[in-house]
Amino acid sequence: MSEQPAPVQNPGLTAPAAPSPGPAASAPGPLPAGLAAALKRDPAGLVAAVVQQYDTNEVLMLGWMDDEALHRTMTTGRVTFYSRSRQEYWRKGDTSGHVQWVKSVALDCDGDALLVRVDQVGAACHTGTRTCFDGRELDISPVQAG
């Protein structure tokens, strides 16, 4: 049998065209198919994730998520990002203690941005400020009346 000259007799059972993608044969990634199809990822496979304090509406920070980071955020109760600079997953609070507890996640109308509402423990910014934007205002020209 090891020298069978006619592999065509067994099509589909040997040398599959694609490797098994994971636990669900119909889903090639960790996300539900509809969500995976709705995401408009950048060339690095990422979408922007705006993180907002759920009760005060403060914008705390902006991070980046690939499919796996979004999956972890949606299923574990803790926000996980993908670090563009370190090229690794990063679960907020693991080193600082400044955990982000997930309250809700929404995807915007064109699929390239997430709004993650959280309960932030302590400072969101690694510099120690509550948000990553605190005290970092730019000089702008006088604003016209709205």
Does 76 help bind its own copies (rule: CB under 8 A)?
yes
Stretch touching its own copies by CB under 8 A, among 6-14, 20-28, 40-48, 87-95: 40-48
Is the backbone of residue 22 left (phi > 0), alpha (psi -120 to 50) or beta? left
Does 121 help bind its own copies (rule: CB under 8 A)?
yes
Residue count, binding to its own copies (CB under 8 A): 53
Does 101 help bind its own copies (rule: CB under 8 A)?
yes
Angle at 29 (CA atoms; ends 25, 33), nearest 5 degrees: 80
Distances (CA, A) of 137 to 50, 134, 140: 18, 8, 9
Distances (CA, A) of 69 to 42, 58, 133: 15, 22, 23
Does 110 help bind its own copies (rule: CB under 8 A)?
yes
Question: Residue 144 carries which DSSP code?
Answer: P
Question: Residue 7 carries which DSSP code?
Answer: G
Among 10, 27, 106, 122, binds its own copies (CB under 8 A): 106
Does 141 help bind its own copies (rule: CB under 8 A)?
yes
Does 90 help bind its own copies (rule: CB under 8 A)?
no
**Chain contacts with its own copies (rule: CB under 8 A):** 32, 35, 42-43, 48, 50, 52, 56-59, 61-62, 73-78, 84-85, 101-110, 112-113, 115, 119, 121, 125-127, 129, 132-133, 136-146
